[in-house]
Structure 1
Amino acid sequence: MDEPLRYEKRSDGVAIVTNMDAPLNRMGLAYIERLSEVVDDIAGDEEIRAFVITAQGLDNFSVGMNLKELAKGIAAAGDIDTFFDRRLDLIQRIETMGKPSVATLFGHCLGAGIELPLGCTFRLAATDGASIGLPEMHLGATPAWGGSARLAKTVGRQHALDMILRAKTLGGPAAHAIGLVDEVWPIGELKSRATDLAVELARQPALAVRGVLDTLHDCESRTLTDLLAAERRAVHATLGSDDAREGMLAFLEKRTPVFNRNPGSSAPT
């Protein structure tokens, strides 16, 4: 494998990040290191307003961490806590960068192969052939990349316990039924539908999108007072912005607004 992932920046405000380790698409040390660099680049690039995390081929999104590299990774990090903390930090940066992300789930999505998507804004799964789960119990272990916590926040405690304690895997429709994924599509359409969703999100006013993402981040554990305060901050941030003016003008002119014409200059003036 020459490159662990492919990073494509498109002209429509969307980036596509593809694991290039087909057919298994393991999340090895090189992949995580490169993904961390790419996430920093996306966060700092004002022309990228949404991104897709996917994988090469149609066999598997990811069978998870490359266990053969575990000892090497821990040794390089210095200790096991630092090793896993760096992965938790990566997922948290995806969650909190203020730009929406879309993950495609197909084939095996196991261990880290679902823990990473749990940090994404949207998850789309294949109608058939997906096997989504946290099988660590079969290895005498527990999820280590935030899987148990994020799964419980996403689908509720009981569904999380059922999946983790029984090492249960779910297909796309079953994952959709409990709220683990947002949409299901035939495998042949899945990646294009994910890109379409990212394009739709990239067309929304970036400053307002960031405000909503910041307001609703970890909303399950925050008080209503805190959420209302975050919402008010988002209101102030967008008030008088280029996109707010464009939205109002388009409404008055009865046309579709065109946002994000001037990346980096949409703040109120």
Structure 2
Amino acid sequence: MEELKSQLRVRKDNGKAYVTLNRPPANSYFLEYLLYIEETLLSLEKDKTISVVVINSASEKFFCAGADIKIFSNNSSDQNIEMVKAARKVTKTITSSDKIYIACIQGHILGGGLELAMACDIRLAKEGNYLVGLPEVKLGLMPGNGGTPRLIDLIGASKAMELLVTGDSVTPKRAYELGLFNQLYTHENFEEKVSVFVNNLAKGPKKAMKAIKNYVIQHKGMTAEQALQFETESVNKLYGTYDAIEGFKAFIEKRTPEFE
């Protein structure tokens, strides 16, 4: 357990939690590591003071390379299925959370690592020469932790098909152009820009952000009429909240709102 704790650092700071992958050289995961990540994220769910969770890496070279290939290749099929199930639990914890999850990327992000980032709500990246991709097809496989539908949602079916069937990686610049990354910052201002972005979110209205995340995730598959009705029901629950009242008052008084 002590070894796992050293491989996953957690720091809380004024409404934010930083979860740092620290398993050199590539932050590759295995079953027990995934279970520990899930346990850590579930513990953060209980902390109501946290509204934003940032997943990043202690390494500038790698964000995460996905499953540890040495372990994966030596496992039985059943063992690998259990590992993928554990990875799915991690991403489900992220997508079902009321908190906003941000992936902070500055190094190679491949396979399950990219699937982890795509499960997050927002992806902030640094310019660089690192690789971004889902190379599973080159191992005779395909993504198994939400990589296929999430990639399609983010960049469209045609471009997703190309990346999935070739297994080829792209540059961070290309990933940003495709819509896979939300922001692409320079080396010089990366940490500053990420800090400003995360701090601003942490000061935002938690109930409204929760409602927005819930809508974005759940509206898929709805008819236009259902989606509009769901939006109406969601916003109706916000009108009488402290944050909505404070937001209107601050706007009229031309000041920065102080949300709950």
- TM-score (structure 2 length as normaliser): 0.90
Aligned to 2:234: 234
Report the more deviating stretch, 78-87 or 95-104: 78-87
Shift of 1:36: 0.5
- From 31, 53, 58, the equivalent of 1:51 is 53
Aligned to 2:183: 183
Instruction: Indicate conservation of the 8 Å contact 1:63/1:113, yes or no.
Output: yes
**Number of equivalent positions:** 257
Within the alignment, does 1:17 sit opposite 2:19 as a pair?
yes
Report the more deviating stretch, 241-250 or 52-61: 241-250
Structure 2 residues without counterparts, runs of 5 or longer = none
Matched to 1:96, the amino acid is S
SS state of the match for residue 7, structure 1?
A: strand
Aligned to 2:157: 157
- TM-score (structure 1 length as normaliser): 0.87
- From 6, 23, 30, the equivalent of 1:28 is 30
Q: Deviations over 1:14-53 (max 9, x none)?
A: 1101001133121233431221012212222110011111
Instruction: Indicate conservation of the 8 Å contact 1:4/1:34, yes or no.
Output: no
Shift of 1:237: 2.2
Q: Deviations over 1:3-22 (max 9, x none)?
A: 220011112x1110100113
Shift of 1:183: 0.8
Shift of 1:197: 1.7
Aligned to 1:257: 257
- From 62, 65, 69, the equivalent of 1:63 is 65
Aligned to 1:143: 143
Shift of 1:193: 2.8
Return closer, same or farther for 1:74/1:37 CA change in 2, 3 Å cut-off: farther
**RMSD between aligned residues:** 2.2
Return closer, same or farther for 1:58/1:207 CA change in 2, 3 Å cut-off: same
Shift of 1:71: 7.1
Q: Deviations over 1:134-168 (max 9, x none)?
A: 11122122112121121111111111111111111
Map 1:75-90; keep pairs closer than 5 Å.
80-90=80-90
Return closer, same or farther for 1:228/1:7 CA change in 2, 3 Å cut-off: same
Matched to 1:20, the amino acid is N
Matched to 1:118, the amino acid is M
Matched to 1:216, the amino acid is V
Aligned to 2:8: 5
Matched to 1:3, the amino acid is S
Identical-residue share of aligned pairs (%)? 27
